Amino acid sequence: MIFGLFKNIGIYDCVLFLTAMLMMYVTYFYYKYFTRVNSLPGPLPFPFLGNFPQILWFGGNIHMFYIYCCEKYGDIYETYSVNIRTVVLCRRKYLENILSKNTYGMKFPKCEGTEKLGVYGKY
């Protein structure tokens, strides 16, 4: 019975379905990109590829691509490496703030298990 449903589906129907799914994904990708909460300036990514085509535009020299983006978008910008968001910092003071010996991030979080063990808020 189920095979009878797929009996009348041809190659044209499969191509039409795949095209519709691809268009829906591209629409969803750009909707999520333009409505994200913590948006930073940066080059517009492509679905599935991220900013890889822009890197190829610079002859595959990723260092030149990052220098260009730093000059165009400022000291903090974002790129996408195959749909993975990457925040790029260009100033030394930003890196020092992130990589400093801040012990606040090493504290145990407040949850039921850490309170019972008595390690909540300790280093």
Owner of token pair 């990052």: 66
pLDDT of residue 11: 86
Domain ranges of the chain: 2-117
Task: Evaluate whether 69 touches 42 at the Cβ level (below 8 Å).
Answer: yes
Q: Which tokens is 24 given? A: 């829906």
Asked if residue 96 lies in contact with residue 84, where contact means CB atoms within 8 angstroms, the answer is no
Answering whether pTM is above 0.85, one says no
- Tell the residue number behind the tokens 């407040």, with chain if given: 110
Helix runs in the chain, H state only: 2-5, 11-34, 52-57, 62-73, 92-99, 112-117
CA–CA dist 51, 32 (Å, integer)? 16
Per-run averaged pLDDT (10 residues), the chain, 123 residues: 70 92 96 90 93 92 93 93 88 79 61 65 56
3-state helix, strand, coil in the chain (%, to 5): 50, 10, 40
pLDDT (0 to 100) of residue 24: 98
